[in-house]
């Protein structure tokens, strides 16, 4: 089975306030934070294009117009569309804003995403092959998929019990000793999953995934390559080193 990734868009969650990166993110959104000489979004789009993906929808909020101005309607061979969090807060301060949450942002972007789509976090850099993930998702017959990585608490807090090829438990609020895996940061969904949620409802993607796990409707795909993120100063430094190394090579 060969999956044509040009037909599957990616929703990039890029609307957060990135408080851990202040003061850098007081003046620019996280997607424009430079890593190895270019905005993190540039590296993400370049990698997605290399995988065969040709469309991305950016779920943006605080200072989101800066991303629109910088990247426009196409960049690195990927057509770009934008979905603003509500209310639009281009002029907002970083305090007191009621954001829709990661789930609410996806719900708002659904008309631009179609029936099936990847979701990627705006601060993630995930150097894996995306086609096998999509093929596994389509074979699974389930409406959602989470990629998992055997983290053993190393790079972040493990939050998944994954055994016998299935996600048994997913919870970001409790810690269990049998949680060896972590939500890797790349997921796939059918749009129908979000039908039960109201427009402009505030909810997180973790809530959606937790519900699907309890219903045994979330496929689990284990990846072997570690994840990188720049949502914290330590993560930013680590990703900087990785991308600079790749550039030298």
* Residue-wise burial string across 207-234, b where 16 or more C-beta atoms lie within 10 A, e elsewhere: ebbbebbeeeebbbbebeebbbbbbeee
Residue 200 CB neighbours (<10 A) = 13
pLDDT (0 to 100) of residue 92: 42
Residue 205 CB neighbours (<10 A) = 22
What are the residue ranges spanned by the domains of the chain?
Answer: 5-248
pTM of the entire structure?
Answer: 0.91
Nearest Cα residue to 180 out of 195, 170, 193: 170
- CA gap 229, 32 in Å, rounded: 14
HEC letters along 144-173: EEEEEEECCCCCCCCCEEEECCEEEEECCC
What's the CATH code, domain 5-248? 3.90.550.10
pLDDT (0 to 100) of residue 2: 63
pLDDT (0 to 100) of residue 159: 85
pLDDT tens, per residue, the chain with 249 residues:
567 898 999 999 987 766 676 776 678 888 998 999 999 999 999 999 999 999 999 999 888 899 999 999 999 999 999 999 854 444 343 444 567 899 999 999 999 999 999 999 999 999 899 999 999 999 999 999 999 999 887 888 888 989 888 899 998 888 888 899 998 999 999 999 999 999 888 999 999 999 999 999 999 999 999 889 888 888 889 999 999 886 666
The backbone torsions φ and ψ at residue 30, rounded to the nearest 5 degrees and listed phi first, read -55, -35
């Amino acid at each position: 089975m060969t999956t044509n990734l040009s037909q599957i868009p990616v929703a990039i969650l890029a609307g957060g306030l990135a408080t851990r990166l202040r003061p850098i993110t007081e003046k620019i959104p996280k997607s424009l934070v430079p890593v190895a000489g270019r905005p993190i979004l540039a590296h993400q789009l370049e990698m997605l294009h290399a995988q065969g993906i040709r469309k991305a929808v950016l779920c943006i909020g605080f200072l989101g117009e800066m991303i629109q101005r910088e990247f426009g309607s196409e960049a690195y061979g990927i057509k770009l569309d934008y979905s603003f969090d509500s209310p639009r807060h281009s002029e907002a301060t970083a305090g007191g804003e009621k954001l829709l949450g990661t789930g609410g942002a996806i719900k708002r972007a659904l008309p631009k995403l179609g029936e099936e789509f990847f979701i990627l976090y705006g601060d993630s850099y995930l150097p894996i092959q995306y086609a096998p993930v999509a093929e596994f998702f389509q074979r699974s017959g389930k409406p959602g998929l989470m990629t998992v990585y055997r983290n053993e608490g190393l790079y972040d807090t493990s939050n998944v019990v994954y055994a016998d090829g299935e996600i048994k438990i997913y919870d970001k609020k409790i810690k269990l000793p049998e949680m060896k895996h972590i939500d890797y940061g790349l997921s796939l969904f059918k749009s129908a999953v979000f039908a039960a949620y109201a427009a402009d409802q505030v909810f997180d993607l973790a809530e959606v995934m937790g519900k699907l796990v309890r219903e045994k409707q979330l496929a689990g795909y284990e990846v072997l390559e570690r994840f990188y993120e720049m949502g914290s100063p330590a993560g930013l430094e680590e990703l900087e080193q990785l991308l600079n190394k790749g550039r030298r090579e």
